[in-house]
Chains A and B, each alone.
Chain A
Amino acid sequence: MKVGIVGLGTMGTTHAAGYQSVAGAKLVAVADIQPNRSHAVAERYGVRSYATLAEMLEAEDLDVVDVCLPTFLHRQAVEMAAAAGKHVFCEKPLALTPEDAKAMVDACRKAGVTLGVGHVVRFFPEYQKAKTVLAAGEMGKIGTVYMYRGGGGFPTAWQDWYARHEWSGGIVLDLMIHDLDFLLWTMGDVERVFAKSTWRRDYGRMEHALVSLRFANGVIGNVEGTWLPLESFKTEFEFAGTNGLLSHSSAHAVSFKSHQLQTPGEAGPQGVTVPRSPVTRSPYSLELEHFIDCLHKGVEPIINGEAGLRAVTLVAAAQKSIETGKPVGLERG
Chain B
Amino acid sequence: MKIGIMSFAHLHAHAYVDAIRQMPGVELIGVADSDLSRGQAAADQAETKLFPTFEALLESDVDGVVITAANADHRRLTEMAAAAGKHILCEKPIATSLEDARAMEKAVKEAGVKFQMAFPCRFIPAVQNLKRQYDHGGLGRVVLIRSTNRGKMPGGFFVEPELSGGGAVIDHTVHIVDLVRWIFQTEIVEVYAEIDRHFHDIPTEDCGLLTMELANGAFMTLDPSWSRPDDFYTWGDVYLKVVGTNAVSEVDMMRQSLERIGAGKPNYEWDFWGSNSDYYLVKEFVDSFREDREPSITAADGIKALEVAAAAYESGKTKAPVRLR
Contact = CB atoms under 8 A, between A and B. Distances in A.
B143 A194 contact: no
Contact of B144 (A192, A198, A218, A221): A198
Contacts of B100: none
B39 interface: no
Contacts of B227: 143-144, 240, 245
A219 B148 CA distance: 17
Given A144-B227, A240-B207, A243-B229, 19 more contacts: A143-B196, A143-B206, A143-B227, A194-B211, A194-B321, A196-B213, A201-B217, A208-B143, A212-B194, A218-B196, A220-B194, A220-B198, A220-B208, A220-B209, A226-B243, A240-B227, A241-B199, A245-B228, A327-B320
Interface in A185-215: 192, 194, 196, 198, 201-203, 208, 210, 212, 214
Interface of B: 143-144, 146, 148, 192, 194, 196, 198-199, 206-209, 211, 213, 217, 219-221, 223, 225, 227-229, 232, 243, 245, 248, 319-321
Contact of B225 (A196, A240, A327): A240
B198 A208 contact: no
A143 B153 CA distance: 13
A192 B318 CA distance: 13
A243 B198 CA distance: 11
Contacts of B192: 194, 212, 327
A144 B207 contact: yes
Contacts of A240: 199, 207, 225, 227-228
A196 B196 contact: no
A220 to B, nearest CB: 5
Interface size class of A (residues with CB under 8 A): 20 to 34
A192 B146 contact: no
Nearest to A192: B319
Contacts of A153: none
A5 B311 CA distance: 53
Given A143-B199, A196-B219, A210 B146 contact: yes
A178 B61 CA distance: 64
B255 to A, nearest CB: 12
13 contacts: A143-B196, A143-B207, A143-B225, A144-B207, A146-B148, A196-B144, A212-B194, A218-B196, A222-B146, A222-B209, A224-B146, A245-B232, A327-B319
A241 B219 CA distance: 27
Nearest to B221: A210
Contacts of A37: none
Contacts of B225: 143-144, 220, 240
A208 B144 contact: yes
Shortest 8 CB-CB contacts between residues of A and residues of B = A143-B198, A240-B227, A196-B219, A244-B229, A220-B194, A202-B143, A210-B221, A143-B207
A38 B159 CA distance: 64
Nearest to B220: A210
Contact of A210 (B196, B211, B217, B248): B211
Contacts of B320: 326-327
A203 B143 contact: yes
Contacts of A244: 229
B321 A210 contact: no
Interface string A161-204: 00000000000000000000000000000001010101001110
Interface of A: 141-144, 146, 192, 194, 196, 198, 201-203, 208, 210, 212, 214, 218-222, 224, 226, 228, 230, 240-245, 325-327
A144 to B, nearest CB: 5
Nearest to A238: B227
A184 to B, nearest CB: 17
Nearest to B208: A220
Contacts of A144: 198, 207, 209, 223, 225, 227
A245 B152 CA distance: 12
A234 B251 CA distance: 18
Contacts of B217: 201-202
B168 to A, nearest CB: 10
A251 B196 CA distance: 31
Nearest to A230: B248
B198 A242 contact: yes
B104 to A, nearest CB: 32
Contacts of B245: 202-203
**Central interface residue in A143, A201, A226, by most chain B CB within 10 Å:** A143
Given A141-B198, A146-B223, A242-B199, A325 B207 contact: no
Contacts of A198: 143-144
Contacts of B248: 228, 230
B201 to A, nearest CB: 10
A221 B223 CA distance: 10
Contacts of B194: 192, 194, 212, 214, 220
Nearest to A242: B199
Interface centre among A192, A240, A241, A326 (most CB of B within 10 A): A240
Contact of B196 (A208, A220, A230, A241): A220
A222 B196 contact: no
Contacts of A226: 243
A192 B194 CA distance: 10
A178 B219 CA distance: 23
B52 to A, nearest CB: 43
Nearest to A214: B194
Contacts of B321: 194, 325-327
B243 A219 contact: no
Name the residue in B192, B196, B198 with the highest tally of chain A Cβ atoms < 10 Å from its Cβ: B198
A141 to B, nearest CB: 6
Contacts of B144: 196, 198, 208, 210
B261 to A, nearest CB: 16
A243 B228 CA distance: 10
